[in-house]
Amino acid sequence: PARKRSSYDMITLTTWLLKQEQEGVIDNEMTIVLSSISTACKQIASLVQRAPISNLTGVQGATNVQGEDQKKLDVISNEVFSNCLRWSGRTGVIASEEEDVPVAVEESYSGNYIVVFDPLDGSSNIDAAVSTGSIFGIYSPSDECHIGDDVQLDEVTQMCIVNVCQPGSNLLAAGYCMYSSSVIFVLTIGTGVYVFTLDPMYGEFVLTQEKVQIPKSGKIYSFNEGNYALWDDKLKKYMDSLKEPGTSGKPYSARYIGSLVGDFHRTMLYGGIYGYPSDQKSKNGKLRLLYECAPMSFIAEQAGGKGSDGHQRVLDIMPTEVHQRVPLYVGSVEEVEKVEKFLSSE
Ligand code: AHG
Ligand code: MN
Ligand code: MN
Ligand code: MN
């Protein structure tokens, strides 16, 4: 039987990363970038958990490029994430939900990774202490330009946009940190999905699950049904079908946390589907391709699940702008294929 590990001989994220480097799965620079991201997540976890004490709930009083009222913690998490990546010295360009345009990192002196991130996901939950998260994806530099050349921007910004506008299929690594009853760091470097739990006793992420497999099906659906009236008729038919007891005699259960990271993590472990469809108001849905849909779809596929925009694989979508939105259906293979079937029916 597997040796029961006490919490002091469990594998820490640091040890696990060094092992991947030793085995040549990742290089030294990637090891350092991932370690700096985990440090940013630990700092954000402590800021989130003490938000009401340190007067960090509520709004910043500014709106971001998405047109959203930024929370104070949106702004601070963005600074924490950006600084940790800068000081890693191995990051070339960063793109964030909270930055209008991608930013070149002058401090990089070896390795030149491109990091896209959502520093605080589900930030509408923060004032009620409901789960939030951070999401990230890592690319190699790229010079293949797919963006319209009518974009009137300076040379450096143009280069940065070219570097971040890569299809999710180019992702080298992706992950998220969920700030919930436990602080959970989930990571894939292309060899399956690994789960680490923060042990507050000594401030390290310890390996608690390896090679996670999403159940092939699951009777949990996670959509904001407040938008039902605005949905396409085919989607309404799909949604209605989940409520019929069917042969099993039991309909699906609805679970919606309002944080992609929380809803995705439950979907990955329990099975089912999370969706943020397009609707009459938002033609491309709400979630952003670069730092929400693509990283989560990469993780889903690495766990044997699927990530679709309703018609195609999210990882095949070629981004044309940094903050572009796409509809997202992600989770158990059978559940994602079921909604795709409804959406493509005559
Ligand atoms: P963010 O807080 O980074 O802007 O993302 C919020 C997203 C996602 O986390 C969540 O699933 C979704 O918005 C919730 O949107 P609704 O409130 O419209 O359901
Ligand atoms: Mn936001
Ligand atoms: Mn988000
Ligand atoms: Mn966010």
Q: Would you list the DSSP string of 103-168?
A: EE-TT--S--EEEEEEEEETGGGGGGT--EEEEEEEE-------S-TT----HHHHHHHHHH---G
Q: Above 80 in pLDDT, residue 147?
A: no
Q: Is the CB of 286 under 6 A from ligand 1?
A: yes
pLDDT of residue 208: 96
Number of residues assigned to the chain: 346
pLDDT of residue 321: 93
- For residue 277, the one-letter residue type is P
Q: Is the CB of 288 under 6 A from ligand 1?
A: no
Mutate-to-test residue for ligand 1 from 99, 116, 260, 326, highest number of ligand atoms within 8 A of CB: 260
| Close Cβ partners of 109 (under 8 Å, ≥ 6 residues apart) | 89
Q: Is the CB of 98 under 6 A from ligand 1?
A: no
Q: Report ipTM for this prediction.
A: 0.98
Query: CA-to-CA distance for 35 and 202, rounded, in angstroms?
Result: 16
pLDDT of residue 148: 64
Q: Is the CB of 123 under 6 A from ligand 1?
A: yes
pLDDT of residue 1: 58
Q: What is the torsional sign of CA 305, 313, 17, 291? A: negative
pLDDT of residue 107: 80
pLDDT of residue 279: 97
pLDDT of residue 7: 59
Query: What are the phi and psi torsion angles at 173 (to 5°)?
Result: -155, 155
Nearest ligand for residue 291 CA: 3
pLDDT of residue 8: 62
Percentage of the chain surpassing pLDDT 90? 88
- Region 261-276 average pLDDT: 98
Ligand 4 centroid to Cα of residue 346, in Å, is 36
Angle between helices 28-49 and 72-88 (to 10 degrees): 160
Q: Using pLDDT thresholds of 50, 70 and 90, give the confidence band for residue 10.
A: confident
Query: CA-to-CA distance for 182 and 171, rounded, in angstroms?
Result: 27
Residue nearest atom 15 in ligand 1 by C-alpha distance: 258
Q: CA-CA-CA-CA torsion for 202, 204, 206, 211, nearest 10 degrees?
A: 170
Query: CA-to-CA distance for 268 and 209, rounded, in angstroms?
Result: 12
Mutate-to-test residue for ligand 1 from 287, 288, 290, 325, highest number of ligand atoms within 8 A of CB: 287
- Region 98-109 average pLDDT: 90
- Are 85 and 94 in contact by the 8 Å Cβ rule? The answer is yes
Q: For 25-70, what is each residue's pLDDT tens digit?
A: 999 999 999 999 999 999 999 999 999 999 999 999 999 999 999 9
Residue nearest atom 16 in ligand 1 by C-alpha distance: 258
Q: Is the CB of 262 under 6 A from ligand 1?
A: no
Q: Using pLDDT thresholds of 50, 70 and 90, give the confidence band for residue 3.
A: low
Ligand 3 centroid to Cα of residue 327, in Å, is 13
Q: Is the CB of 224 under 6 A from ligand 1?
A: yes
Q: Is the CB of 132 under 6 A from ligand 1?
A: no
Ligand 4 centroid to Cα of residue 123, in Å, is 6
Ligand 1 centroid to Cα of residue 123, in Å, is 7
- Count how many Cα atoms sit within 13 Å of the Cα of residue 307 in the half-sphere of its side chain: 25
Q: Is the CB of 121 under 6 A from ligand 1?
A: yes
Q: Above 80 in pLDDT, residue 222?
A: yes
- Are 109 and 158 in contact by the 8 Å Cβ rule? The answer is no
Residue 279: alpha-carbon gap to chain centroid: 22
Ligand 4 centroid to Cα of residue 97, in Å, is 6
Ligand 4 centroid to Cα of residue 283, in Å, is 20
pLDDT of residue 5: 61
Q: Above 70 in pLDDT, residue 236?
A: yes
Query: CA-to-CA distance for 138 and 17, rounded, in angstroms?
Result: 15
pLDDT of residue 346: 86
